Amino acid sequence: MTKNKSDIYTTVTKRIVEQLEEGVRPWVQPWNAEHAAGRITRPLRSNGKAYQGINILLLWDSADSRGFSCPIWMTFTQAKQLGGAVRKGERGSKVVYASSFQKTEMDESGNELEREIPILKQYTVFNVDQCDGLPEHFYATAKPQVSDIKRVEPAARFCQNTNARIREGGNRACYVSSEDFIRMPRIEAFCDAQSHAATLLHELTHWTKHSSRLARDLGRKRWGDKGYAMEELVAELGAAFLCADLGITPKVREDHASYIESWLTVLKNDKRAIFTAASLASKAVEYLHQLQPRQLS
């Protein structure tokens, strides 16, 4: 079981490293889907619930590399239960889930102790594009969007609802942890409104690390060290997940090359780093969603 756990970490991290070395950030994917479930969205289960953590990256990568337009995934059995079927010859995509097993050990006194060992397990899912005979709503296409700029409004409301302190001015976006506020250049300094919103969501993810919120401490001691690179990776993924949730299509940041170099160093030295970063990013995103007003049914 330990070998299986190691294999999953190694396989996923190797794929992420390969993409980063090609200059591709796998979490800025895929922005080309035209499905009614959302042109930009996190991968969804057949019941509409979004995937979490590393599975978001795994399925985004699979959708992009194989040209799937639908963000919905399901198991072979689920497709059958819905009245459809996976087409013969279709190859599934792997997702993971946390599990554990009991191991008996002896203590110094010779007494038996039961210890729970965490492991990762895999299972296979298929995209709706690989299935036939499902209910019609699984195949519905999106209506044309009238104006891209309107997609920024939900992001503005989302940030405002968190009550994070945001100060405008200067030429650098950052989260000032010592004073607990976000510094943002004025929107005119950005190439477009989507990039401004995505940058703000990046800094808002940093904002969640404060001791009064998620108390996320990844061990940063100085600029550019492993702790710094890990926190930037969490913020990058958090922003990508939020962009998917809020329908924002940002352009790739011009400074992303230096970040990619630092992320590669971390990922090559720690095969679990991307799993940790994706999990922490999902927790940050969930925290920010919980700050939003509840919708009355």
pLDDT value at position 221?
Answer: 79
What is the side-by-side strand order in the sheet with 174-176? 166-168, 181-184, 174-176
Where does the pLDDT of residue 2 fall: very low under 50, low under 70, confident under 90, or very high at 90 and above? very low
Residues of the chain with pLDDT > 70: what percent? 86
More confident residue, 21 or 283: 283
Query: Beta-carbon neighbour count of residue 5 at 10 Å?
Result: 17
- Please check the confidence at residue 146 and state whether its pLDDT lies above 50: no
* Calpha distance 157→11 (Å, rounded): 39
Residue 161 contacts by C-beta under 8 Å, 6 or more apart in sequence?
291, 292, 293
* Calpha distance 16→29 (Å, rounded): 13
Residue 254 contacts by C-beta under 8 Å, 6 or more apart in sequence?
none
Where does the pLDDT of residue 257 fall: very low under 50, low under 70, confident under 90, or very high at 90 and above? low
> What is the residue extent of each domain of the chain?
1-144, 146-297
Task: Give yes or no for a contact between 30 and 60, defined as CB atoms under 8 angstroms apart.
Answer: yes
* Calpha distance 161→293 (Å, rounded): 7
pLDDT value at position 150?
Answer: 39
Give the residue among 57, 66, 47, 129 at the shortest CA–CA distance from 95. 57
Show the CA angle centred on residue 61, arms to residues 152 and 269, nearest 5°: 105
* Calpha distance 23→253 (Å, rounded): 12
* Calpha distance 31→218 (Å, rounded): 30
Give the residue among 192, 187, 285, 189 at the shortest CA–CA distance from 236. 285
pLDDT digits (tens, 9 = 90+) for 208-228: 999 999 999 999 878 778 899
Label each residue of 231-292 as H, E or C.
Answer: HHHHHHHHHHHHHHHHCCCCCCCCCHHHHHHHHHHHHHHCCCHHHHHHHHHHHHHHHHHHCC
pLDDT digits (tens, 9 = 90+) for 273-291: 999 999 999 999 999 999 9
Cα atoms in the 13 Å half-sphere on the side-chain side of 61: 22
